[in-house]
Structure 1
Amino acid sequence: MRIRICLILFALLLLPCTRAMAQDAGPIKGQGVLDAIVAAKGKVVVIDFFASWCRPCLMEIPDVIEARKHYPADKVVFLGISLDQDQGEYARFVKQTPFNFPVYLADPDVLTTFGVKMIPKTLVYDTTGQQIVNHAGYMPGEMLRQAIDALLKDGGS
């Protein structure tokens, strides 16, 4: 009985750590994403819309994760927005993927707020919050890095 209680307590203590490592930031509404862009004023913002079942998204996510490694957090903010409808599938995917940036589960209004009609979709904002890149479909990592580098070279805008 003591062992069972200890295992349960251990599992409960481990659960928050697993969530933190996976960068699962929970659900978000369109206004929440807009607020995050405004809050990042002075930084370049990259938003990656994806779903766990989307093959091109699965090809693109490692490139976004790799790009995150190349830029300091005080210069570039990365956000992942999952369009998964099954919360269990979303949670499993985020737990298994080595995201190094916050990942949110999109509220349905996110689709209309950002005009998402296909995924993957990548948006890049300059340091003033102006959308500079709106790329629907797979975006190779080199293309993403070129867009970010151009903004950083120009002072962010």
Structure 2
Amino acid sequence: MHSRNESIAMNRWYCFVIALIGLVVLNSCVSSTSFNVTSSTSIRDDNAYAEIKAIAEQLGNSGDPAAYETLVEKSGVFIKEYPKYRQVDEVYYLLGISLIELNRTEEGIDVFEELIRYYPAADYVEPSLLRLGLAYDKVGEHDKADPLYEKLVNHTKYRGGRSSQIAEQLLTQDRDARTGELANASGSDPSPRPNQFINQPALDFQVTGLRGEPLSLSQYRGQVVLLDFWATWCPPCIAEMPNVKHTYAKYKNQKFEIIGISLDRSTGPLEEYIAREGLAWRQYWDNGSRIASMYNVRAIPSTFLIDGAGIVRQVNLRGSALEMAVAELVRENLEN
């Protein structure tokens, strides 16, 4: 028979066990409820994203304005409700494109700028930089487009990618001819590629050089000439410049000349670089890209090595290959 104290102790033990079990059950219920809420939210945003993707894929085949309107509406709602969704940058990108397709270009510009500002490390920033530049071209604000293209060309994160390649082509074009159309920017025209100029007569031009002097290709007939298309904003051009300087210094007294065709947007950076680096050969600021268009230059640096008879012999030479080709052509020219 238990004493009274033993009974009290036993009752307290039972109460403790029951309370502990209650806490475990309660915690399990709370955790289960939390999981269900999180899971439900995840399902909703995944479904909304899948719906947006499906509409975008259908638009790739139809281009239906009504579908673009639907995509704009659903993308806008999605961004407000799920700003931390893992692929929200893609939804921003689709929204920006859709607005521009609907000729709501200013709104599209705002969307792309917001994406770049708030999600700078996101995957869709790279194509958005290109699309934003094209949108500025579409409304004639080329001064705002150029820095975006230059960022794609110069930044190590983007350099060499498809957007970077298109941006480089755009920078070589006459700005007034840039209308914001990606098809025109991607180089789908049937114009000859640089290597198709090989063994063909070089196209002559008559312009005024950077120092105000008359400049033409024909005035150098009988000499080996390197046409060098470049710009100060182009890192590969600047990286190649020491090699170009070395080649010029070595062969300039052997009937070898260089004509630099600059695709800079203004003469300020060009003149500053020429003075700082001591570039001694003739330079032409190709404002409007007239000569670049003649030679169908789509990327820089781009070079055309022309013999004494005015025939293009090689194109796009760099590094040691440039000096070797110049040496061979200079020797051939002097022997003739």
Scaled by the length of structure 2, what TM-score is found? 0.35
**Structure 2 residue identity aligned to 1:31:** F
Match of 1:129 among 310, 313, 324: 310
Match of 1:32 among 192, 206, 209: 206
What are the Cα deviations for residues 83-126 of structure 1, in whole angstroms up to 9, with x where unaligned? 00122222222222210212221132112111111000111100
Q: Give the structure 1 partner of residue 259 of structure 2.
A: 79
Aligned equivalents of 2:282, 2:252: Cα separation in 1: 15
State the number of aligned residues: 124
Which range moved further: 116-125 or 146-155?
Answer: 146-155
Secondary structure in structure 2 of the residue aligned to 1:154: helix
Match of 2:301 among 87, 107, 120: 120
Name the one with the larger strand percent: 1
Runs of 5+ in structure 1 lacking a partner? 1-29
Name the one with the larger helix percent: 2
Q: Give the structure 1 partner of residue 235 of structure 2.
A: 55
* RMSD between superposed Cα atoms in Å: 2.1
Name the % identity: 26
Q: Give the structure 2 partner of residue 14 of structure 1.
A: none
Secondary structure in structure 2 of the residue aligned to 1:95: helix
Aligned equivalents of 2:267, 2:279: Cα separation in 1: 17
Aligned equivalents of 1:74, 1:119: Cα separation in 2: 27
Is contact 2:224–2:333 with CA below 8 Å preserved after alignment?
Answer: no
What are the Cα deviations for residues 8-29 of structure 1, in whole angstroms up to 9, with x where unaligned? xxxxxxxxxxxxxxxxxxxxxx
Q: Give the structure 2 partner of residue 145 of structure 1.
A: 323
Secondary structure in structure 1 of the residue aligned to 2:232: coil
Scaled by the length of structure 1, what TM-score is found? 0.71
Secondary structure in structure 1 of the residue aligned to 2:300: coil
Secondary structure in structure 2 of the residue aligned to 1:62: helix
Higher-RCO chain (CA-CA 8 Å, sequence separation at least 6):
1
